[in-house]
Amino acid sequence: MGGLRESTTTSTVTAITLNTVKPLRRTTLNRLFAVVYMCAIFTLLYHHAQTLLFQSKTLLSFSVSLSLLVADMILAFMWSTTQSFRMRPVHRREYPENLKKVTKRDEFPGLDVFICTADPYKEPPMGVVNTALSVMAYDYPTEKMSVYISDDGSSAFTLFAFMEAAKFASHWLSFCRKKDIMERNPEAYFASNHSWNSETEKIKMMYKSMKVRVEHVVETGKVSDEYITSDQEREAFHKWTDRFTRQDHPTIIQVLLESNKDKDITGNYLPNLVYVSREKSKTSHHYFKAGALNALLRVSATMSNAPIVLTLDCDMYSNDPETPLRTLCYVSDPDIGPNLAYVQFPQRFRGINKNDIYASEFKHMFALNPKGLDGLRGPDYFGTGAFFCRRAFFGDPSTFIAPEIVELSPDHAVEEPIKSPSILSLAHRVAGCNYENQTKWGSKIGFRYGSLVEDYFTGYKLHCEGWRSIFCHPERPAFYGDAPTNMLDMLNQSKRWTIGLLEVAFSKYSPVTFGIRSMGLMGLCYSHYAFEPSLSIPITVYAFLPQLALLGGVTSFPKVLEPLFFLYCFLFLGAYGQDFLEFVLEGGTFGKWWNDQRIWMIRGLSSYVFGLTEYLLMSLGISAFGFNVTNKVVGDELSKRYDQEIFEFGVPSPMFVPMTMAAILNFFSFSWGFSQIIRGVGDLQGLFLEMLLSGFVMVNCWPIYEAIVLRSDKGKLPAKVTVIATFLAWALYYTTTSLIFK
Ligand SMILES: O=c1ccn([C@@H]2O[C@H](COP(=O)(O)OP(=O)(O)O[C@H]3O[C@H](CO)[C@@H](O)[C@H](O)[C@H]3O)[C@@H](O)[C@H]2O)c(=O)[nH]1
Ligand SMILES: [Mn+2]
């Protein structure tokens, strides 16, 4: 694999540094530790196998040993996949200030921005508008930029919001340029900026009144006549006929701003702004977000066909106008450019509470692992905040796959203005719901179909084809998005991912087979995600089995000071210790890390289990699932509790049951063990590890105990969940102790 030297990429002609890459210092230590830890794992597995073969005389001890062996084998496999991220982590930096020495501004490549939205109630149009305005105001030649909105919710309210946004943009863009502000999301700017003058006051009023109109339209459910300012606008809304539904309607494409024609108030051109709601019918597949993105790839090809494409979720606004320039530092690098599929920026979230109680920063997924991947072929695609080279969607770096019509080819030049009838009619055609039939879209071309995590799957397929990607993580976050602020939203998101990942794990492209074969270590990295849901097995085993055994008078772990005791201690402390160190080195705090590992357990007992089950039911043809969009609106009361770091349950969801069962059962096994020791019946040495495990689970379950007994607010755990969980925990205890551990 050859050592990765510290390297500096310079443009050959001018010797100007655009980007640098350095291996992380901890790499050698990581590799050494991996060897030691691996030996420890093998010792434990050897011990389990021996116990199973030679010491398991009864059915009981056999099943306990077998379960522990299986659990530890899965943990060992998952550990090995994590090591692949630790073998070659790198750190990159880019120097956008040097860019102008290499390329002139008018030689910058065109940039098409895709913003996806799917539901005007879960994703309020004002949020989408703010995201769009923040990118329209990029420090980038406006005549080279086009912003496309994909509305899978096909909502007249969203279109209305963007008609308003188009008008406001002509003030906002020139305001940003004049004041040279960093914060170009109007909502965030007005919320945080306090040095007012009359000009700022004026534009703020303008923004507020737009917001009032848009929110009024959503609230009343009607675009009232007084808000419509031209016949053209009125005509656009005629498309929403009585027969129009979200699942069944014709294509709607509205060009709201046309660059080279529409100017802002100071006479500068505005970027293109296009609203697209692709055709839908109940009889054809839509492939959720991947389908939406492919429709935009085609529509944008007919209108602007920029070589660079930025994909954004509707909540993910720009926090730094320089971001596209950072991307260019890689795109225009002759050593990287030719094989480069995309430059991925981290997902960052605004409004996360102090200790990030739902671990939604996803530090491993969005910060630590990508650095490890970047030393190989590059980070996986996160679904948002990625600048793609359009060419990467058409074949591998050496073989170009031509699309079915030449106008969609990445090198096709658009000759006519985007509002011309021929362009508009082609755009409508390629947004049609039957357009993809008998084409390579979704399989060989564009974003890939077949998984609910279209982002992960698309990045994976691109890497398999030989493309590379870059992880660009500047100090000032490039984008900010929303993270779930209640337990159920978080678990539902995680469940959707679980299903999507399993779809890949058990497909013919499974990373453990196809992936490792086509790209070695990189395939192991992808396996880490694909098989993450399998962690639910060891987590469930460790949350219930030793505790039930303890209640049945059987111990599963070695006594204190036995050699194996130290092995267990080393394995536990080694894994947790290394994880903690990495987390903190990446800017985390103890509190955030603690919650991160807590949520890891909760997912293992909840979303992974339910995701696995739903995936099985789907495989058997019993049920189907869809893309359940994450809610991006937060009520006041909930938001208050979130800020106070109180867990939000509130609804009686089955997803809360297994974790509540674990909380109850661990409480009883711990208390029982404790009473044994107090009464002098049990010996502490023998029960020590069991007690430690139960104690650890209990500390992790503390918010659940609180939610059961101490709280009376709306977010507490519904009594129904407690009752069901108590009953199930008791049934589990009863069957195991009376039938198995008797
Ligand atoms: O049929 C659909 C469903 C969703 N979306 C859009 O997809 C985006 C992501 O949806 P969200 O509910 O916010 O999902 P998250 O779980 O928060 O998103 C993560 O996971 C998704 C895959 O499950 C990726 O697509 C996202 O980029 C990634 O941030 C949003 O902008 C939606 O509007 C569509 O355009 N069409
Ligand atoms: Mn999201």
For 707-725, the pLDDT digits (tens) are: 999 999 999 999 999 999 9
Amino acid making up residue 682: G
| DSSP assignment string, 556-616 | -SPPTTSHHHHHHHHHHHHHHHHHHHHHHHTT--HHHHHHHHHHHHHHHHTHHHHHHHHHH
- Alpha carbon nearest to ligand 1 atom 10, residue: 629
Confidence of residue 616 (pLDDT cuts 50, 70, 90): very high
- Alpha carbon nearest to ligand 1 atom 28, residue: 383
Question: Which region among 61-65, 177-181, 491-495 has the lowest average model confidence (pLDDT)?
Answer: 61-65
- Residue 443 and residue 577 in one domain: no
Reply yes or no on whether the pLDDT at 627 is more than 60: yes
Task: Kindly list the protein residues that place their beta carbon closer than 5 angstroms to ligand 2, a single-atom ion.
Answer: 313, 630
- Residue 153 and residue 273 in one domain: yes
- How many A from CA of 391 to the centre of ligand 2? 26
The helix, strand and coil proportions of the chain, stated in percent and rounded to the nearest 5, come to 55, 10, 35
- Enter the pTM of the model: 0.95
Tell whether 123 is in a known binding site: yes
Residues lining ligand 1, Cβ inside 6 A: 116-118, 123, 150, 152, 288-289, 292, 313-314, 383-384, 452-455, 493, 496-497, 500, 627, 629-630
User: Can you tell me the mean pLDDT for 131-142?
Assistant: 97
Q: Which of 72, 112, 151, 152 is catalytic?
A: 152
For the chain, the straight-line distance linking the first and the last C-alpha, in angstroms and rounded, comes to: 55
- Residue 644 and residue 519 in one domain: yes
Ligand index nearest the alpha carbon of residue 489? 1
- Residue at token pair 């420090």: 139
**Element (H or E) spanning 160, and its range?**
helix 156-179
- Residue 410 and residue 301 in one domain: yes
Our count of domains for the chain comes to: 2
Are 601 and 696 spatial neighbours (Cβ–Cβ below 8 Å)?
Answer: no
Spatial distance between the Cα atoms of 669 and 714, rounded to a whole number of angstroms:
30
- Residue 529 and residue 662 in one domain: yes
For 308-323, the pLDDT digits (tens) are: 999 999 999 999 999 9
Confidence of residue 541 (pLDDT cuts 50, 70, 90): very high
The reported pLDDT for the residue numbered 737 is 81
- Alpha carbon nearest to ligand 1 atom 17, residue: 630
DSSP letter, residue 400: B
Ligand index nearest the alpha carbon of residue 611? 1
- How many A from CA of 385 to the centre of ligand 1? 12
Length of the chain: 742
For residue 699, give its domain range. Answer: 508-740
- Residue 270 and residue 413 in one domain: yes
Q: Which of 455, 482, 489, 596 is catalytic?
A: 455
Tell whether 107 is in a known binding site: no
- Is residue 6 included in any domain, yes or no? no
- Determine the residue of 116, 148, 246, 494 to mutate for testing ligand 1's pocket, defined as the one with the most ligand atoms within 8 A of the Cβ atom: 116
Q: Is-catalytic flag, 152?
A: yes
- Is residue 16 included in any domain, yes or no? no
Residue 251: partners with Cβ closer than 8 Å, 6 or more residues away: 276, 277, 278, 279, 428, 431, 432
- Is residue 393 included in any domain, yes or no? yes
- How many A from CA of 313 to the centre of ligand 1? 6
- Is residue 46 included in any domain, yes or no? no
| DSSP assignment string, 328-348 | HHHHT-TTTGGGEEEEEPPP-
- Residue 577 and residue 474 in one domain: no
Amino acid making up residue 59: L
- How many A from CA of 630 to the centre of ligand 1? 7
CATH number of 230's domain: 3.90.550.10
- Residue 341 and residue 437 in one domain: yes
- Residue 205 and residue 272 in one domain: yes
- Is residue 192 included in any domain, yes or no? yes
Are 292 and 317 spatial neighbours (Cβ–Cβ below 8 Å)?
Answer: no
Amino acid making up residue 664: I
- Alpha carbon nearest to ligand 1 atom 31, residue: 313
Reply yes or no on whether the pLDDT at 421 is more than 50: yes
- Is residue 85 included in any domain, yes or no? no
* Both tokens assigned to 625: 């699932």
Which atom of ligand 1 has the smallest separation from the CA of 123? 33
- Residue 380 and residue 462 in one domain: yes
- 3-state SS, 28-82, equals HHHHHHHHHHHHHHHHHHHHHHHHHHHHCCCHHHHHHHHHHHHHHHHHHHHHHHH
Tell whether 106 is in a known binding site: no
- Is residue 720 included in any domain, yes or no? yes
- Residue 171 and residue 250 in one domain: yes
ipTM: 0.99
- Residue 549 and residue 436 in one domain: no
CA 97, 99, 100: angle at the middle one, nearest 5?
90
For 43-91, the pLDDT digits (tens) are: 999 999 998 888 877 777 788 889 999 999 999 999 999 999 999 999 9
Ligand index nearest the alpha carbon of residue 482? 2
- Is residue 33 included in any domain, yes or no? no
Q: Is-catalytic flag, 455?
A: yes
Q: What is the mean pLDDT of the chain?
A: 93
- How many A from CA of 646 to the centre of ligand 1? 26
Tell whether 152 is in a known binding site: yes
Tell whether 122 is in a known binding site: yes
